[in-house]
A and B are shown apart, each in its own frame.
Chain A
Amino acid sequence: MNRFIGFVKKEFYHIFRDRRSLFILFGMPIAQIMLFGFAITNEINNVDIAILDHSKDAVTQEIINKISASKYFSIKQLITREADIAPIFQKGHVKAVLNFEKDFSQKLIKAHGANVQIITDATDPNTANTISNYVNAILQQYQKEVNKEIVNSYQIVPQTRMVYNPELKSVYMFVPGVMTIILMLVSAMMTSISITREKELGTMEILLVSPLKPILVIVGKVFPYIFLSIINAIIIVVLSIFIFKMPVQGSLILLGMESVLFIITALALGILISTISATQQTAMMISLMGLMLPVILLSGFIFPITSMPLPLQIISNIIPAKWFIIIIKGIMLKGVGLQYIWKETLILIAMTIFFIALSVKKYKIRLE
Chain B
Amino acid sequence: MSISVKNVSKSYKKVKALQDISFEVKPNELFGLIGPDGAGKTTLFRILTTLLFPNEGTATVSGFDVITDYKKIRKSVGYMPGKFSLYQDLTVEENLNFFATIFGTSIEENYDLIKDIYIQMEPFKNRRAGKLSGGMKQKLALCCALIHKPKVLFLDEPTTGVDPVSRKEFWDMLKRLQQKNITILVSTPYMDEAALCDRIALIQDGKILEIDTPEAIVKHFPKQIYNVRANNMYQLITCLNEYQHNHSVFPFGEFVHYTDSRKDFNPNELKLYLESKKLSDIEIEKTKATIEDTFMELAK
B76-101: CB near A (< 8 Å → 1, else 0) gives 01010101011111100010011101
Are A205 and B103 in contact, with the CB atoms below 8 A? no
Stretch at the interface among A5-13, A40-48, A174-182: A5-13
Chain B residues within an 8 Å CB radius of A6: 97-98, 101-102
Does B51 sit at the interface, judged by CB under 8 A? yes
Cα–Cα distance between A210 and B85 once the two chains are bound (Å): 14
Contacts known (A6-B97, A211-B75); A205 close to B102, Cβ less than 8 A: no
Taking CB atoms and an 8 Å cut-off, the chain B residues in 126-180 that contact chain A are 144
Residue of B nearest to A18 (CB): B89
Does B58 sit at the interface, judged by CB under 8 A? no
The smallest beta-carbon distance between B156 and chain A, in angstroms, is 9
Taking CB atoms and an 8 Å cut-off, the chain B residues in 35-93 that contact chain A are 46, 49-53, 70-71, 73-75, 77, 79, 81, 83, 85-90
Are A14 and B89 in contact, with the CB atoms below 8 A? yes
Does A160 sit at the interface, judged by CB under 8 A? no
Are A7 and B102 in contact, with the CB atoms below 8 A? yes
Number of CB contacts from chain A to chain B under 8 A:
79
* Number of B positions contacting A (CB below 8 A): 30
Are B51 and A212 in contact, with the CB atoms below 8 A? no
Does A145 sit at the interface, judged by CB under 8 A? no
Residue of A nearest to B77 (CB): A209
Residue of A nearest to B144 (CB): A206
Contacts known (A3-B102, A6-B101); A208 close to B51, Cβ less than 8 A: yes
Chain B residues within an 8 Å CB radius of A203: 85-87
Residue of B nearest to A14 (CB): B89
Cα–Cα distance between A346 and B79 once the two chains are bound (Å): 44
Are B52 and A366 in contact, with the CB atoms below 8 A? yes
Taking CB atoms and an 8 Å cut-off, the chain A residues in 334-367 that contact chain B are 365-367
Are A211 and B51 in contact, with the CB atoms below 8 A? no
A85-107: CB near B (< 8 Å → 1, else 0) gives 00000000000000000000000
Does A110 sit at the interface, judged by CB under 8 A? no
Cα–Cα distance between A257 and B101 once the two chains are bound (Å): 33
Residue of B nearest to A212 (CB): B102
The smallest beta-carbon distance between B74 and chain A, in angstroms, is 5
Does A368 sit at the interface, judged by CB under 8 A? yes
Does A2 sit at the interface, judged by CB under 8 A? yes
* Number of A positions contacting B (CB below 8 A): 26
Does B104 sit at the interface, judged by CB under 8 A? yes
Does A161 sit at the interface, judged by CB under 8 A? no
Chain B residues within an 8 Å CB radius of A9: 98
Cα–Cα distance between A211 and B104 once the two chains are bound (Å): 9
Does A109 sit at the interface, judged by CB under 8 A? no
Chain A residues within an 8 Å CB radius of B88: 201
Cα–Cα distance between A205 and B98 once the two chains are bound (Å): 15
Main secondary structure of the interface of A (DSSP, over half): helix
Are A209 and B89 in contact, with the CB atoms below 8 A? no
Chain A residues within an 8 Å CB radius of B75: 210-211
Residue of B nearest to A13 (CB): B90
- Most chain A beta-carbon neighbours within 10 Å: one of B85, B88, B102: B102
A173-204: CB near B (< 8 Å → 1, else 0) gives 00000000000000000000000000001110
* Residue of B81, B89, B103 touching A210 (CB-CB under 8 A): B103
Contacts known (A203-B86, A206-B79, A209-B79); A366 close to B50, Cβ less than 8 A: yes
Does A17 sit at the interface, judged by CB under 8 A? yes
Chain A residues within an 8 Å CB radius of B87: 10, 13-14, 201, 203
Cα–Cα distance between A201 and B87 once the two chains are bound (Å): 8
Chain A residues within an 8 Å CB radius of B77: 209
Are B103 and A367 in contact, with the CB atoms below 8 A? no
Are A10 and B98 in contact, with the CB atoms below 8 A? yes
Residue of B nearest to A210 (CB): B102
Cα–Cα distance between A160 and B90 once the two chains are bound (Å): 62
Contacts known (A6-B97, A366-B53, A367-B52); A211 close to B102, Cβ less than 8 A: yes
Contacts known (A10-B94, A18-B89); A205 close to B51, Cβ less than 8 A: yes
Chain A residues within an 8 Å CB radius of B103: 210-211
Residue of B nearest to A368 (CB): B52
Cα–Cα distance between A212 and B104 once the two chains are bound (Å): 10
- Most chain A beta-carbon neighbours within 10 Å: one of B70, B74, B97: B74
Are A205 and B53 in contact, with the CB atoms below 8 A? no
Chain B residues within an 8 Å CB radius of A210: 74-75, 99, 102-103
* Residue of B46, B74, B83, B90 touching A10 (CB-CB under 8 A): B90
Are A367 and B85 in contact, with the CB atoms below 8 A? no
Taking CB atoms and an 8 Å cut-off, the chain A residues in 43-98 that contact chain B are none
Chain B residues within an 8 Å CB radius of A7: 98, 101-102
Cα–Cα distance between A95 and B87 once the two chains are bound (Å): 60
Chain B residues within an 8 Å CB radius of A201: 85, 87-88
The smallest beta-carbon distance between B6 and chain A, in angstroms, is 20
Chain A residues within an 8 Å CB radius of B97: 6
Cα–Cα distance between A7 and B99 once the two chains are bound (Å): 9
Chain A residues within an 8 Å CB radius of B79: 205-206, 209
Cα–Cα distance between A2 and B100 once the two chains are bound (Å): 10
Chain A residues within an 8 Å CB radius of B144: 206
Cα–Cα distance between A210 and B144 once the two chains are bound (Å): 12
Cα–Cα distance between A16 and B259 once the two chains are bound (Å): 62
Cα–Cα distance between A365 and B49 once the two chains are bound (Å): 12
Chain A residues within an 8 Å CB radius of B85: 201-203, 205-206
- Most chain A beta-carbon neighbours within 10 Å: one of B49, B51, B104: B51
27 A–B contacts from the bound complex (CB under 8 Å): A2-B104, A3-B101, A3-B104, A5-B101, A6-B101, A7-B98, A7-B101, A7-B102, A10-B87, A10-B94, A13-B90, A14-B87, A201-B85, A202-B81, A202-B83, A203-B86, A205-B49, A205-B79, A206-B81, A206-B99, A206-B144, A207-B102, A209-B50, A209-B51, A210-B102, A365-B70, A367-B52
Interface residues of B (CB under 8 A from A): 46, 49-53, 70-71, 73-75, 77, 79, 81, 83, 85-90, 94, 97-99, 101-104, 144
Q: Which 4 A-B pairs have the closest CB atoms?
A: A6-B101, A202-B85, A209-B79, A17-B89
